[in-house]
Amino acid sequence: MVVLKTTREIAAMRDAGRISQQALRLAGEAVEPGVSTFEIDSIVRRYIEEQGAVPSFLGYGGFPASACISVNNVVIHGIPSKQTILKQGDIVSIDVGARYNGYHGDNAWTFPCGDISHEAQALLDTTREALYEGIKRAVAGNRIGDIGSAVQRYAEPRSYSVVRDFVGHGVGAKLHEDPSVPNYGTPGRGVRLLPGMTIAIEPMINAGSNKVKVLSDKWTTVTADGSLSAHFEHTVAITPDGPVIMTLP
């Protein structure tokens, strides 16, 4: 069931989104060669808790950390570790959520670790722009398929593939709500977008095949062919005046 939010609830979600975004910004600033993903996760948890919020991911379904940190061919749900040390040229996807006053904010970004290859930078640029193409279609009266189609039409002609096994989602009092928000689709199809809907739009784009596999820890999801993957996400409110990104500074 899709839960429509009141103006008051959307304001509360903007507070949660602001905390999530600031935690993500701090995490991104820590991405440097020689830093462990465990250290970055500690920064995220400390900041969120200092704001009087709770890390959305910590303990969610048994997830053992406050942020998902996914390096290179890891698509999503990378578990932070003291043994995972970032290297020059890595790309590092960090997914952060915070619950504040009963509502969640959810966002992700893929950061370069030092100088990265032209190929990696092109993947990051395409995935980021695909996110904003999707957000442009998050307009009352449109349908979910309009968002996914916009992402797909931006990424695939540039010879990238769109992950299909994992999708965006509604977000609010629960971290994951209806509707599902795929990053592919047909314009004019799917759930109609209504004012008060709040959704996480999150393209996951691979440099190679769209096939992925989940490792034995039941979380870490990697590209099946070992190719690079990027992930960008914003929490967005559907309003009468157009989409409002709630995970901004």
- Asked whether residue 133 is domain-assigned, the answer is yes
How far is CA 4 from each of CA 7, 137, 179, 193, 238, rounded to the nearest angstrom? 10, 18, 11, 10, 9
Q: Distance between CA 128 and CA 110 in Å, rounded?
A: 9
Residue 34 domain flag: yes
Our measurement of the distance from residue 16's CA atom to the centroid of its chain's CA atoms, rounded to an integer in Å, reads 15
What is d(CA 224, CA 206) in angstroms, rounded to the nearest whole number?
Answer: 10
pLDDT confidence of residue 139: 98
| CATH number for the domain harbouring residue 79 | 3.90.230.10
* Torsion, CA 240, CA 243, CA 248, CA 249, rounded to 10: -40
pTM above 0.95, yes or no: yes
Is 237 inside any structural domain? yes
Residue 2 in domain: no
Q: Is 180 inside a domain boundary?
A: yes
Residue found by looking up tokens 């929490």 in the block: 235
Asked whether residue 220 is domain-assigned, the answer is yes
In a domain, 1, yes or no: no
Please list the rounded mean pLDDT of every run of 10 residues in the chain (249 residues). 96 97 98 98 98 98 98 98 98 98 98 98 98 98 98 98 98 98 98 98 98 98 98 98 95
Q: What is the pLDDT of residue 249?
A: 80
Q: Is the dihedral of CA 29, 33, 37, 38 positive or negative?
A: negative
**Number of folded domains that form the chain:** 1
Domain housing 236? 7-245
Supply the pLDDT for residue 118.
Answer: 98
In a domain, 122, yes or no: yes
Contacts of 160 (CB under 8 A, 6+ apart): 123, 126, 127, 205, 206, 207
Q: Which residue has the tokens 């990104």?
A: 245
